[in-house]
Amino acid sequence: MRKASSAAPATFSTSSTSAAQRGGTTAPQDEVRAGGELHQPAGGSHPPLTTNQGLVVADNQNSLKVHPRGPVLLEDFILREKIFHFDHERIPERIVHARGSAAHGHFELTDSLAQFTTASILTKVGHKTPVFTRFSTVAGGSGSADTPRDVRGFAVKFYTQQGNWDLVGNNIPVFFIQDAIKFPDLIHAVKMEPDRGFPQAASAHDTFWDFISLTPEAMHMVMWAMSDRTLPRSLRMMEGFGIHSFRLVNAEGQSTFVKFHWRPELGLQSTLWDEAVKIAGADSDFHRRDLFEAIEAGSFPAWELAVQLFTEEEAEAFPFDHLDPTKLIPEELVALRVIGRMVLDRWPDNFFAETEQVAFCPSHLVPGIDFSNDPLLQGRLFSYLDTQLSRLGSPNFHQLPINAPKCPFANQQRDGHMQMGQPRGRVAYEPSSLAADSPRESPARGFRSTAVDESGLKGRVRPESFADHYSQARQFFASQTGFEQAHIASALVFELSKVEALHVREAIVGHLRHIDTGLAQRVADGLGLAKLPEAAAAAVAAQDMPASPALQIIGKMKDTLAGRCVGILIADGSDPKRVAATRQAVERAGASVKIVAPKVGGARMAGGKLMAADGQLAGTPSVLFDAVAVLLSAEGATLLAKDAAAGDFVRNAFGHLKAIGIDAGGQQLLQALGVAPDAGVIDVGDTKAFIAAAKTRQWTREAALRMLA
């Protein structure tokens, strides 16, 4: 860890801290001050920002800390008031992560970390710990669709023998902001604009990008958000990250830093943007239904839990600060160590009682795990606990069955709204001598915070080591395949095209120049800007970091069809033997099959036998499948060539780069629709070739089908 003295300025007065020390922000608030007064930007006069008591706020960017890289102080009443009010803005829906789906399961440790921690869940190999895992979108309300471009929450509650441990993260390893005091601003910016109540579950609007344009620390996260990571094919096919550095503490009191990673056994898979939009129209519950059906079918979703372990001395040598939540540790720098496996095998009995009422709090730890001084994590420790009061209405939320530990628990807390227990006896305090069975502290078994020497000058300031906002964003973009880079550029063009304010669009392109000049030019061209805007001022110049292939999706896709779904389009006269052979090959490869027909009652096959359908053609578009097969008679092809839904089924499958299996009738339909076959259009007689093509997208097809930035 960097020494406090190396980062701390001589004074912490707001007027003397540099932009780099305060996070490198280029917002108007950082303009030169004279005589303690803020020079207002041209074009309007802004009233001073105050607390709810009218106290003028001098610094709205940083929490009060012991020293620049030290813990946040409880006395920070400005932080507490701001987050306290924010936490209670929505009743009873979650303010963020409102749209969620969850399942029960278990975690089994396969590699003991006894050298590093006393946490039994991380030391007892072979022990199965019950878990409840909730996945969610961030921006939309509980009734929004599953598939918008958005970060996904990935929260796991472990019901351990030592108490509940909540590992609350996302499917992206970094975040938009460096300090929790900015979280209300971020969410206010990305949520529906308050004067009009839209857009719902979307970041493509002025207030979000205005905030981003003035918050350069967010640019690394923006690269992730504009990538295909925020368009997952399935909740079962996305990674999860604890985001922050935590500490593991062993029996001798020695601590080791740790970052947690979830890796899906099915591998990574995403949709295309156009596909995600159409899925939302076809099935707004697409991800929830997919998770439910997989569990019902016995194809239980599973993830490996891996850790990155590193010492304080090793952290000192990193070219970034691991306490900065906008930074990640590349796998090539600190390798991942797989230590266990999580399996989800049971759907909740009651969605409200479990999925909605579950309360995750990063402050829920067990002995042997501790916090770091990450300022975003420090704020979350207060916020997540506080928000349960307005959302669940009671300080006794921990007594709800989904939240209650599965190990014994006892304390002297009493009464309160919705008290569901029946504490007995006259003693409700500790220590006491009046009750032999009254719970008492247990120094030998209890939780102990890591002994860390913290000293320095108190002040609202960020360490200089947090000031590099572009190097890892540059690394992320440079690490992507050409196809993924095109998707990022196109996503930026789409999002910024929805922004009405020209100066905001130009400011974002200016930030992009620090990441990649070619990317900035592609986005500028896509927006029709007459010239490339000037680069925004950078607190620290971006550095070139080694490419990290682990940051890709395409390069990490597994060579498997397991967990996917293939749609087979049939009509009257289709060959039942071809359908059966195709189904058998797909299911043998680990995927499921759904039969689609013009009528939900099915189709009468060649030979006269009725084949049942899983979905009607008009209501079961190809966007719901990973690959399709079109198996038709000549008469069926002639009939479907006149049907708009059939045309959309085929054209969208082709346009979304999916493998298409055909027989003679299927080929006839493609010709009638003007779809020129390529290497991804395969005769189902060659089932091996069809299965191989169905495992991935036909990426080389894309450039000929749509304009990408």
Give the single-character DSSP code of 353: I
Residue 619: what are its φ and ψ, rounded to 5°? -110, 5
SS3 518: helix
Residues 69 and 219: their CA atoms lie apart, in Å, by 22
Report residue 595 as tokens: 């039969």
Query: What kind and span of H or E run contains 23?
Result: none
92 prior amide bond cis, ω within 30? yes
CA separation, residue 640 to residues 216, 290, 566, 625, 644 (Å): 52, 28, 20, 19, 8
Q: Are 138 and 150 in contact (CB under 8 A)?
A: yes
- How does DSSP classify residue 550? G
Across 470-492, b (16+ Cβ under 10 Å) vs e yields bbbbbbbbbbbeebbbbbbbbbb
What amino acid is encoded at 399 in this protein?
Answer: Q
Kindly state the tokens that stand for 409.
């628990």
How remote is the C-alpha of 430 from its chain's centroid? 42
What stretches of 266-358 show up as alpha helix (H) in DSSP?
273-282, 286-296, 312-316
Map tokens 């899906």 to a residue: 264
Query: Distance (Å, rounded) from C-alpha 130 to C-alpha 119?
Result: 15
Answer for the pair 201, 144: CB distance below 8 angstroms, yes or no. yes
Taking the C-alpha atoms of 119, 337, 370 and 303 in order, what is their torsion angle to the nearest 10 degrees? -80
Q: Which of 624, 609, 612 is nearest to 583 (CA)?
A: 612
The residue behind tokens 């590699």 is 111
CA-to-CA dists, residue 223 to 25, 135, 402, 487, 508, angstroms: 18, 21, 36, 11, 12
**303: Cβ–Cβ under 8 A, 6 or more apart, which residues?**
240, 262, 263, 264, 265, 341, 342
Catalytic residues: 97, 170
Counting other chains too, the contacts that 291-294 makes at CB distance below 8 Å and 24 or more residues apart are 291/101, 291/103, 291/135, 291/234, 291/235, 291/236, 291/344, 292/101, 292/347, 293/592, 294/236, 294/563
The CA–CA distances, whole Å, from 371 to 172, 200, 244, 374, 603 equal 20, 34, 9, 8, 60
Contact 632, 606 (CB under 8 A): no
Distance in angstroms (rounded) separating the CA atoms of residues 631 and 654: 16
For residues 389 and 514, what is the distance between their CA atoms, to the nearest angstrom? 43
Give the pair of three-digit tokens for residue 457: 């000058």
Contact (CB, 8 A) for 528 and 561: no
Structure tokens at 467: 């000031």
Task: Tell me the two tokens of residue 153.
Answer: 């929450």
* Residue 339 CB coordination number (10 Å): 18
Residues 13-52 as b/e (b if ≥16 CB within 10 A, e otherwise) read ebeebebbbbbbbbbebbeeeeeeebeeeeeeeeeeeeee
Distance between CA atoms of 184 and 187, rounded to whole angstroms?
A: 5
